[in-house]
Chain A
Amino acid sequence: MSLMALSLTLVFVAVAVGISMWQRLGMERDIFIGTVRSAVQLLTVGFVLHYIFQSDKPFIVLLILSVMITVATLNAAKRGKGIRGIGLRIGIAITITEFVTIGLLLALRVIPFTSQYIIPISGMTIGNAMVVSSLFLNGMSREAESSAAEVETLLALGATPRQAMHGWLRRSVRASMIPTIDGMKTVGLVQLPGMMTGMIIAGASPLDAVRYQILIMFAFASSAALTSIMLSLMSYRLWFGEKGMLRRSAQK
């Protein structure tokens, strides 16, 4: 696509701004910021990836992965505000998920050991793990009030914190995995995923694109399960204070 053609896509932004002004949605500023940020971020990433793929140094790949994991962790941790120590646990869960997923793909020789494969697939895996972490924490806080009664009922019957949290954790883990699993069920019927669409537009055969998309969907399923389960097991104690009492902040 020529630079001229790319510039013309701004017409879509104009449509959004026009609708916002016409309907007085007051979103012009956000649309403007979103437009500038997405353009700058993506163009920068394009240049960075271009450089990395050419140099193909493991050290740089690791550096890029660390940046991705850090940004994903900080973003997901916003959902767990007020829960001390949640950020570290999200970081560990996302890191393990990333290394298990990419490690398996490399060990089984599904993808070659080059940055051209590792970085995009890592980006998608880490991004998915970030969304799953946010959804898990959302589920935990959304259910806090009703679940506090359940947890205390079980504690009063002599349950351990782990036993008392079982239902609450289970519901939050399920809620965090549902979008990924639903995505697997409807992919290709409802939406054509961005990666596959991109490959097809860039000239790859649809069959090739589909193969990689299947790889991604399967990797997502395992990474969603891994992230959510690890995060729930590592973090459930954070909702308890001394003597296995539910923290007052969890009972708001």
Chain B
Amino acid sequence: MESMLQFNQITRTLPGNPARPLFSGLSGEARLSDTISFTGPSGTGKSTLLRILALLESPDEGRLILNGRPAREWDARQWRMKLSYVSQQPFMLSGTVEDNLRAASALHRTPFDRELASRLMASLGMAETDWRKNAQRLSGGEKQRVSLVRTLLLRPEMLLLDEITASLDDTSTEAVERLLRSFHEAEGTGFIWITHDLEQAGRVAGRSWVLAEGRITEGEYACP
């Protein structure tokens, strides 16, 4: 059976302003292999919903269900390893580029797949990057790509991507899109991808969510 994520009646208020919800009663569902673009005007709460789905924030009301089991019955670590969040502001862990790439295997004491890491870095135009370099010294765009590779090495079933190409040039953006499509085809890894670029949304995704006026409107793209 394919892994399935559902969220029902999710409500979230703004901190310090409980009277005014950021959104209320949002519901939806996705197979973890779905490729979903998530668009909508700024400030409607897309990032917050994505962080709620990643179990990084809690909703004020509502239920999250993965594979038929509510979130409260899940070990949060297992959940986050299946549905892994990549932030718009990439944070480089202290140490070298390699330390960052090794983060998932170091945390879970699993062997580091150096070959896959090299391949992923190369596919994002970072074949020449010195892995011994201090990760803090990378440019913003490089940090963003390393952070994506770092998460892909965890091999999650679904990526929760928060505007991850906003700080990238066209070449790097295309490389990221190609990589995520090929990862989806090869491994079945899905994503929910927040973007403001509607053309990009059409290029990368099979389904579309639009969050506006407190509702999610669903759609499908003709050719995913």
Bound pair: A and B? yes
A contact residues vs B (CB 8 Å cutoff): 149-150, 152-160, 163, 167, 241-246, 248
B43 at the A interface (CB under 8 A):
no
The segment from B23-31, B69-77, B167-175, B199-207 found at the interface with A is B69-77
B223 at the A interface (CB under 8 A):
no
A-B contact pairs, 26 of them (CB 8 A): A150-B91, A150-B93, A152-B56, A152-B91, A153-B87, A153-B91, A153-B93, A154-B93, A154-B103, A155-B56, A156-B54, A156-B86, A156-B151, A157-B84, A157-B150, A157-B151, A157-B154, A158-B78, A158-B80, A159-B107, A160-B77, A243-B76, A245-B55, A245-B56, A245-B76, A248-B57
Report the bound CA distance from A21 to B218 in whole Å: 71
- A158 and B58 in contact (CB under 8 A), knowing A149-B89, A152-B87, A163-B107? no
Report the bound CA distance from A157 to B149 in whole Å: 12
Q: A152-B56, A245-B57, A248-B57 are in contact. List 11 more A-B contacts (CB 8 A).
A: A152-B85, A153-B91, A153-B93, A153-B147, A155-B80, A156-B54, A156-B56, A157-B81, A157-B151, A159-B77, A241-B58
Closest to B82 in A: A158
Q: Name the interface residues of B69-128: CB closer than 8 Å to any CB of A.
A: 71-72, 76-78, 80-81, 84-87, 89, 91, 93-94, 103-104, 107-108
CB distance from B132 to the nearest CB of A (A): 20
Closest to B58 in A: A245
Q: Which of B15, B58, B103 contacts A157 (CB 8 A)?
A: B103
Closest to A158 in B: B81
A241 partner residues in chain B, CB cutoff 8 A: 58
B147 partner residues in chain A, CB cutoff 8 A: 153
B80 partner residues in chain A, CB cutoff 8 A: 155-158
B contact residues vs A (CB 8 Å cutoff): 15, 54-58, 71-72, 76-78, 80-81, 84-87, 89, 91, 93-94, 103-104, 107-108, 147, 150-151, 154
Report the bound CA distance from A246 to B55 in whole Å: 10
Contact between chains at A158 and B15 (CB < 8 Å): no
Report the bound CA distance from A241 to B150 in whole Å: 26
A242 partner residues in chain B, CB cutoff 8 A: 58, 72
Report the bound CA distance from A44 to B157 in whole Å: 68
- A243 and B72 in contact (CB under 8 A), knowing A153-B91, A155-B80? yes
Chain A contact surface mostly? helix
Report the bound CA distance from A12 to B108 in whole Å: 62
CB distance from B105 to the nearest CB of A (A): 10
Report the bound CA distance from A238 to B103 in whole Å: 25
Report the bound CA distance from A156 to B77 in whole Å: 8
Report the bound CA distance from A241 to B55 in whole Å: 11
Closest to A148 in B: B91
- A149 and B58 in contact (CB under 8 A), knowing A154-B93, A167-B94? no
Report the bound CA distance from A159 to B77 in whole Å: 7
Closest to A147 in B: B91
Report the bound CA distance from A143 to B143 in whole Å: 21
Of B15, B56, B94, most A-chain CB atoms within 10 Å: B56
Contact between chains at B107 and A158 (CB < 8 Å): yes
Report the bound CA distance from A156 to B148 in whole Å: 12
Contact between chains at B85 and A156 (CB < 8 Å): yes
Closest to B94 in A: A167
Nearest 7 Cβ contacts at the A-B interface: A158-B81, A149-B91, A243-B76, A156-B85, A153-B91, A244-B76, A158-B77
Report the bound CA distance from A98 to B94 in whole Å: 35
B103 partner residues in chain A, CB cutoff 8 A: 154, 157
CB distance from A27 to the nearest CB of B (A): 35
B91 partner residues in chain A, CB cutoff 8 A: 149-150, 152-153
